[in-house]
Amino acid sequence: MYGDLVMDSVPEKVHFFNSFFYDKLRTKGYEGVKRWTKNVDIFQKDLLLIPIHLEVHWSLISVDIPRRAITYFDSQRTLNRRCPKHIYKYLQAEAIKKDQQTFRTGWKGFFKMNVGRQNNDSDCGAFVLQYCKCLALGQPFNFGQQDMPRLRRQMYKELCHCKLIL
């Protein structure tokens, strides 16, 4: 729901994939997700936000379409190289399907290590949602573990009012 709020705040620029997308892509390949964007040309967006859930931890991949950059964000600073590779293969397959030849190559991958770090086992999801909000709105990541209680209350209010607090 929060991802939809983020996407709705800048609908022409951002596409937010739901939390099941990556797992389906990882297990079924492009065939398992090829219909997920049948009504969306992701290459017309500026930013794709893809939450990653691996067993008990959340992280995020953002795709900057104009810069052809795939960036992995993890509040535990784990270097998971498989996730960006899966997204790269997805982007190539989607470019072929949507006849967007210019997006088949030129992608770069990054790991953002200078982001707020969680120091517990329960705030990874809240970090991911804040990464999404900041990326979509072009805001700096100026939050850390100490801000999570306040940010959780703020996200609750935003969800209740169906609108982001800018």
Identify whether 124 is a catalytic site residue.
yes
Question: Which of the residues 23, 46, 53, 57 is marked catalytic?
Answer: 57
Question: Which of the residues 15, 74, 123, 132 is marked catalytic?
Answer: 74
CA distance 116 to 14: 23
Q: Which residues, including other chains, have CB under 8 Å from residue 75's CB and lie 6 or more apart? A: 59, 115, 116, 117, 118, 123, 124, 127, 128
CB contact at 8 A, 149 and 66: no
CA distance 54 to 107: 24
Identify whether 123 is a catalytic site residue.
no
DSSP, collapsed to helix, strand or coil, labels residue 74 as coil
Identify whether 41 is a catalytic site residue.
no
Q: Catalytic residues, which ones?
A: 57, 74, 124
